[in-house]
Structure 1
Amino acid sequence: MPRQRIGLHPAAADAVQVLGQQVRQARIAKGWTAAQLAAAAGVSARTVSSIETGSPAVSIGNVLNVAVISGVALYGVTDQAELTRMRLRGEERLALLPARVRSAGTKGDDDGLDF
């Protein structure tokens, strides 16, 4: 069965294309073939090609692995320790938020009052 076509928001489509371009540029700068990058990442050359052409059907894990292995700086960060710090800050912020969010359409005991 063929994969289901994924409809992307225009900004997401642009982001997928840009990341694919960055992967291709980094791979070429290293002098690697798509097959060499695929072997290093443990994926097929077809997967690398799909990433480089901006296919939204490739798993995000494979995309990020290929990007890191090719040398693309994720989120503009080149230092692994800084990326780890960003993750930890995010976890700290999430821990301060409520575990669940009630839909704005539900009414509680206050009949929609803000206090």
Structure 2
Amino acid sequence: MATNKNQKTVSQETIDKVGGKQNLRRLVLRDEFQDLELEVISRIPDRTTMGEYLKYANVNPKKAQEVLVNGCLLTDRDEVLSSDALFNSCVAGIAETIPMAAAKVEKY
């Protein structure tokens, strides 16, 4: 798989800190009002981040979204936080990366 030279990257130290490349995702955020497209790098939310997010989800949704973005976004944080459209797009993108697994429930 060839890599695009214009793609954003993070340091090896950051890759190691999040547990490897398998825990990183590229998100393409769109702000249709400003005709802007921004590629950012995010990590998949871990249990700690999800716990903080869920703590605020029903009480203070804005705070919950900020927890998700601040806990997972690794690049362009200032630009994303300064635009409502990019912020909401980032929240939606990170939410899609939340690991979900199915459990099989059987009678005892």
Query: Normalized per residue, which structure has more helix?
Result: 1
Larger radius of gyration: 1
Q: TM-score, normalised by structure 1?
A: 0.24
The structure with more strand, counted as a fraction of residues: 2
